Amino acid sequence: MTHRRGFTLVELLVVIGIIGVLIAILLPALNAVRMRSRLVACASNLRQIGLAFHGYANDFRGHIPVGPDAPIPGARIWAGTYPAPLASQTYTGLGLLIPAYLKTTQVFLDPGGDQDIIAPQLPTIGGTTDVTGSYFYRHLIQIEHPKLATLGNNAAGEKASSLVMDSQGYGSTPFTQHTAHRGKRVNVLFADSHVEASSNDNNIFTFTDPDFVGFPVDFTAFIRRASQVFINADHMPFGSPQDAVQLP
């Protein structure tokens, strides 16, 4: 009669150890693949927004959407209840592309978002609360000319070309906390509808607490930082955004 010998304890521990090593080797690679796929899906969203920009511009004498609330850069797509003279209960910013040029609000949801704060907001469009998307829109205040084909110069006096990017904020309030791609990468949509990805080294595309001082009553620090962020993005087609002109 033949007896089958089972694994010894040592053999089982060796097998478990090998599996553990394989997991440790493969997990970073799998995470990198997952992050890359989300970056690609995010870029696809921005390209759809870029095409919508061109459709809007064709219908509005070349202009890009702005307002109807205060013309500041930001991620808000629906203005809920706002004090006069600002508009309320209406689409604003990128939201003005809905529904004629973008058929779904899901395009404003970055699949690479690090916090689950955008998706719950989207179904509340039409109500009395503000709704923000995942993407930060230039919204004209740093642009001299409002037409898509002639954006003019940025605050550093160089040609403006970037319009929308991943929102990266490390504020201390829920309103100012939103990052994407672990804060390490940023997708940027340009006026010609092409999308470029960049590293976010040294947080060159990030907003932090000092940028929100007095916000929303005093927009000075916020607008200054927004100007610099888009100056950095405007430099991407010519070189590293790290080499962009820095505002004094």
Per-residue pLDDT tens digits of the chain, which is 248 residues long: 555 666 677 777 888 888 888 777 767 766 767 778 889 999 999 999 999 999 999 999 998 887 665 556 788 888 877 665 566 788 888 999 998 999 899 999 999 988 888 889 999 998 888 888 999 998 655 565 578 888 888 888 888 999 999 989 887 776 677 889 989 999 999 999 999 999 999 999 999 888 887 776 677 888 889 889 999 999 999 999 999 999 98
SS3 content of the chain, % helix, strand, coil (to 5): 40, 20, 45
What's the CA gap between 222 and 142, in Å, rounded?
12
The whole-angstrom distance between residue 5's C-alpha and the CA centroid of its chain comes to 59
